[in-house]
A and B are shown apart, each in its own frame.
Chain A
């Protein structure tokens, strides 16, 4: 990951082709505040990664100490000498205390990393939306057509985590039951029997797995609000940038959608059909045949750098 602030525009332009530079400069002058937001977000992201590394180190060290305790115990069981046993007992006690400290530290760092990541993502998202405001219609998350009026509710989904390889399902999750809205007496299955993470990020902005890219998705039809229809082919719009707010151009993008709770995919194979502007892509052929929790993965390959990374979005229909 690298970070480039707004003040470095001119320096970087020397390294870029004229066309990209012009587009970038236009965006930069139109939205300096957006670039600043992304700069702040990028710095926070680096801090979050540092905190996460600290957390990992602490937890790794505590695991190593566990092994040491096991060795102390073996030695203690082998010896009949009282003084040696007492010494080993004392070492075990001290090590347990050290493990507790490390675990506590690791846990704090991890929490801190999570908070920093959330703050960083918020700033990066705001920056992205600000820079690309002329190309975006919606800031709200995509949701099922007709659901906003409370008349339609989550339905469908009928499977189990045991068959799913979705990483979000590795942790303990709660099976969803039927749910009623306040003005309905019919209990409609709400992702019934589908295992879902208790907390799920339904935002329309995602940061790629290795933090190379940031992407925003939305319905590519302003007249339709940000509604996803059921059983109907429609189009999406993707804005793809790096952490400095620069368009990711000429990217090869693979669109993979699946329902983790059902272990099946979409009924169509969507793909990019048009580059609307640098970093703005039209994706056609999107279709959902079921309500419930969907995961959309965009596997991105940036031709200019050879970087590959995956953006992951959750959608609850």
Chain B
């Protein structure tokens, strides 16, 4: 009995130690929050059919290609044109602008290899397959696999062959093979992009480590926002795990960007994914069939696929406006107001295969509570790294 009283006293002390600004956190709270910390993210993830996913040579080659505008029809568009490091690899635009205007908002590529799906509609099941699509998209790079292969042969032959072996122009599908390897190199590069712990991570980690003296604390508003996020506002339902996403697809009733040409989201994404010449089951994937579980057990039907889009990560969300799949909302307050008083999805029986499923109920939050959630979301911003060579163009790195 004496021992248990002693333990009780200890737990009270540790809760009191964590107190700040009227907020205190119990050991149970911290254990619960630990699952959301960046420290809980495994250092690597499945290679998704790319044997070079964690190959340093491939990453270096991918780094060069990522920043090289030569891989575009007008020699002015590179991956980094839309995925700008200074903006957490987004472009601050509603919809992407390459050679032409796209229809979707540019997502951050940071840690996007952790998702089983890429693109808002998940029409790609790996980062290497995703990386190939913009190169041949007339509104983005407007390039072709033949010209990609040509540039690799002309300017990157040495580093390419060091990783992928000798280029054999007489091999069947020679252009596509080089093209695919470019995608795999781009994925290897993106796997090198790390983010630094945010205030939220420092807060959780410093409390997990009970020995640590200089604890990071959240402000009163941020703390209230955290509690709302996990509780009353129910954000955590879909935004869970260290990247604050379940990477699945939901229709949250965001206003249709163009009611005359509705975006069917995942419903179309499934068809595109199955038809994709570079999916996990394709000949170009390095995965065995058994490894392609998402493709083998792919959900192909259901009203919930119609107009559904992938839950985005909330990491750095405060710095990656505008929001939603077509950049419909300019700021976080507009996003939260939508969730607070949601409207059902637009439905047009001529365009939609079925009435879209809708999953959102009003939250009943007041303005102060909305501001608190925004304050909490701000704690998910990682500082921009100052000396990380992968975050800058290779030439800049070389000039240092």
Contacts and interface: CB of A to CB of B under 8 A. Distances in A.
Interface string B289-316: 0000110111110101000000000000
A157 B238 CA distance: 9
Interface in B350-367: 357, 359-361
A183 B28 contact: yes
A315 B246 CA distance: 19
Given A178-B232, A264-B302, A267-B299, A155 B29 contact: no
Contact of A156 (B26, B234, B293, B296): B234
B70 interface: no
Contacts of B247: 231
A285 B28 contact: no
Most interface-central of B234, B294, B302 (chain A CB within 10 A): B234
Interface stretch (A65-73, A131-139, A287-295): A287-295
A233 B29 contact: no
A181 interface: yes
Interface in A220-234: 230-231, 233
A266 B299 contact: yes
Interface centre among B28, B29, B293 (most CB of A within 10 A): B28
Contacts of A20: none
B29 A185 contact: yes
Contacts of B297: 233, 268-271, 284-285, 287
Interface of B: 11, 15, 24-29, 31-35, 226-227, 230-232, 234, 236-238, 240-241, 246-249, 293-294, 296-300, 302, 304, 357, 359-361
Interface string A279-317: 000001101011110000000000000000000000000
A156 B237 contact: yes
B126 to A, nearest CB: 15
Nearest to A268: B297
Given A189-B232, A264-B359, A269-B297, 11 more contacts: A151-B31, A156-B237, A156-B238, A183-B26, A186-B29, A186-B227, A186-B231, A188-B32, A230-B246, A231-B240, A265-B299
Interface in A142-187: 146, 149-153, 155-160, 178, 181-187
Given A155-B230, A155-B236, A290-B237, A233 B294 contact: yes
A185 B26 contact: yes
- Interface residue tally on A, bucketed by range: 35 or more
15 contacts: A150-B28, A152-B35, A155-B234, A155-B240, A160-B361, A178-B231, A185-B15, A186-B231, A187-B227, A189-B232, A192-B232, A262-B359, A263-B357, A265-B299, A290-B246
| Dominant secondary structure at the A interface | loop
Interface of A: 146, 149-153, 155-160, 178, 181-189, 192-193, 230-231, 233, 262-271, 284-285, 287, 289-292
A269 B299 contact: yes
A275 to B, nearest CB: 18
- Ranked nearest first, the 8 interchain pairs of A and B with the lowest CB-CB distance are A285-B297, A183-B28, A156-B237, A184-B28, A289-B248, A151-B31, A268-B297, A264-B304
Contacts of B360: 158
A267 B357 contact: no
Given A264-B359, A270-B297, A151 B302 contact: no
B28 A181 contact: yes
A194 to B, nearest CB: 10
A289 to B, nearest CB: 4
A181 B26 CA distance: 11
Contacts of A284: 293, 296-297
Contacts of A182: 28
A267 B115 CA distance: 14
B343 to A, nearest CB: 16
Contacts of A269: 297-300
A261 to B, nearest CB: 10
A265 B304 contact: yes
Most buried by A among B35, B231, B238: B231
B121 to A, nearest CB: 14
A158 B234 contact: yes
Contacts of A233: 293-294, 297
Given A156-B236, A158-B360, A185-B26, A149 B31 contact: yes
B299 A268 contact: yes
A186 B32 contact: yes
Contacts of B226: 186
A268 B266 CA distance: 13
Given A185-B25, A188-B32, A230-B240, A193 B234 contact: yes
B54 to A, nearest CB: 21
Q: Which of A184, A233, A262 has the most CB of B within 10 A?
A: A184
A155 B226 CA distance: 14
A271 B296 CA distance: 10
B234 to A, nearest CB: 5
A188 B299 contact: no
B241 A231 contact: yes
A158 B361 contact: yes
Nearest to A267: B248
A193 B363 CA distance: 10
